[in-house]
Structure 1
């Protein structure tokens, strides 16, 4: 019996014929690419598309942040094509993932990791590696119930819903600003818009700028680092005990590459009796073992309240964000 007879279905005589594969006819055929966007100038292009060349638009995009560039890519096909330039995403990756703040990828290993894990795509590297954002503020809205004093001739107590906020602002060089305030974001954004160097100069010479000196009294400078998808922060309060505040926050995103949530995993304070406070605290990535600190004379306190998730608010949404709503309009905020 021949091979053709074995492969032939029952009741069918002759050689076996394979099923039709029409795509085989496309092999070796050069398909004509669709016309490019800049060749379709039939009057439908906008004025900015006709007047600005690709090189000029790429230069403009290089001045934008990666998230603003992503929004610009949704405008038209030309901008989407230009926003995929590897040079733009390389600059964004080097700003967001550079030491000393980011410790997941060493500076000399960045190109090797890019080639082996992310297929030489800078955009994919930026979207998949957790990092903090520098184009806004992280805000946590905390609420708790507070019972008032007993009033005379009444059998009930007044109950209050108290609300306060925690703010983080990060910088690429590993420095950060932290503030706790009962005021909403739009009322404190001026103090968070300043740099740590400007606040330090205002503390040294308060008469030069009264507004900056007032902001410097409420905003604390510190350091942070990012490793294994977690942000470790440390600040030192300028008090007599040199209170050191350490926090461990988990980075996550509600959409690819957003990095717009910080979940508080731990918040501890250490009171140093025998050490004076310094303007820049110790390494935020150091060991957080309780025995290591207590053995050096520190009194450790772990906090279990006020651990609401931080939500990122970009600068352009500071005045219109829902975190500015008072308690009378929003008693509880679900960050998602």
Structure 2
């Protein structure tokens, strides 16, 4: 009668024993953290004289003065990401100097005195609170409005009646100085972002204008002058909003009006054109050959895309992959 026991050769038995031992002694780094107590870092501005020990290697190698200089050169949204790294960085990022510089740059057109008045009256003297709650246009990216419509094609042999989905974009890039760039094109976002700056030539189809942001109702008044034999001004009214507190990543297009200007107004510079048309009615024009037209097509809200996300944005998808885009 044969035995039911499995006979394993000696060379295989030694190999299985080694493999089993390796399985049981697998290195688990998280087990080294058990029983390790990390002392809290003193918050910014603490008056405690008790010395604080920081076990992190980067904090022992990088003095607080250098850490302050690094944070002082970061954008506000990068400061928010840095605050999620550790407790010490979170307390350091709350330094009001960082947020004061960011606020004075974002609302530089209002003036320093007006910004300080708003700071004390509405935001309890907190620059960080002012940055989060006060409406502002973002300058670290491009606002994009993706518009699509259906156009009938040419019928062939009275059998087919094709239609085409036409896709085009409105691009706006704001600057803290009160100026902005505007472009209406069918080019994708990743292609337009390469030359969306003041160094571009007129052949790129960029138009320059000025804007103002209301302090009461979050509305933006902007104007662009189209030069030529019959100069035309484009008046844009926008309402700023955000999907989260401090995001300011959406703009609703309230009105889009083109009007004619006379020769004197047409010779105005891009910095003065907004003051020229500031009190105009929607149906007002100063050139009888160019009537005032209030456009109703292409009123899709603008979506903000930071420069670091331009290449991967879904707005680069062609119409056959995304026929309609919901801004949210």
Q: Same fold (TM over 0.5)?
A: yes
1:274-293 aligned at under 5 Å gives the runs 274-275=263-264, 276-280=266-270, 281-283=272-274, 286-290=278-282, 293=284
The residue that corresponds to 2:84 in the other structure is: 74
The residue that corresponds to 1:320 in the other structure is: 312
Structure 1 residue 117 and structure 2 residue 117: aligned? no
The residue that corresponds to 2:192 in the other structure is: 188
What CA deviation, in whole Å up to 9, does each residue of 1:256-291 have, x standing for no partner?
111110100000001235453544152268123146
Residue 175 of structure 2, aligned match among 156, 171, 176: 171
Counterpart CA distance in 2 for 1:326 and 1:108 is: 48
Q: Which moved further from structure 2: 165-174 or 52-61?
A: 52-61
User: For the Cα contact (< 8 Å) 2:261–2:285, is it kept in 1?
Assistant: no
User: For the Cα contact (< 8 Å) 1:137–1:168, is it kept in 2?
Assistant: yes
The residue that corresponds to 1:245 in the other structure is: 234
The TM-score, its normalising length taken from structure 1, stands at 0.77
How many equivalent pairs are there?
276
Deviation at 1:185, TM superposition (A): 0.5
Structure 1 residue 256 and structure 2 residue 245: aligned? yes
Give the secondary structure class of the aligned counterpart of 1:308.
Answer: coil
Tell me: CA distance 1:255–1:290, structure 2 relative to 1, closer, same or farther (3 Å). Answer: closer
What CA deviation, in whole Å up to 9, does each residue of 1:190-234 have, x standing for no partner?
110x22xx24xx45xxxxxxxxxx43xx11111111113111111
Counterpart CA distance in 1 for 2:90 and 2:195 is: 36
User: For the Cα contact (< 8 Å) 1:249–1:263, is it kept in 2?
Assistant: yes
Give the superposed CA RMSD: 2.1
The residue that corresponds to 1:3 in the other structure is: none
The residue that corresponds to 1:230 in the other structure is: 219
What CA deviation, in whole Å up to 9, does each residue of 1:108-159 have, x standing for no partner?
23223212221111011111111101101001100001111121241x4101
What residue ranges of structure 1 are gaps of 5+ in the alignment?
Answer: 1-33, 204-213
Deviation at 1:188, TM superposition (A): 1.1
Structure 1 residue 266 and structure 2 residue 255: aligned? yes
Give the secondary structure class of the aligned counterpart of 1:112.
Answer: helix
Q: Which runs of 4+ in 1 moved over 6 A?
A: none
The TM-score, its normalising length taken from structure 2, stands at 0.78
Structure 1 residue 98 and structure 2 residue 90: aligned? no
User: For the Cα contact (< 8 Å) 1:272–1:299, is it kept in 2?
Assistant: no
Counterpart CA distance in 2 for 1:182 and 1:334 is: 18
What residue ranges of structure 2 are gaps of 5+ in the alignment?
Answer: 1-38, 43-50
Structure 1 residue 56 and structure 2 residue 69: aligned? no
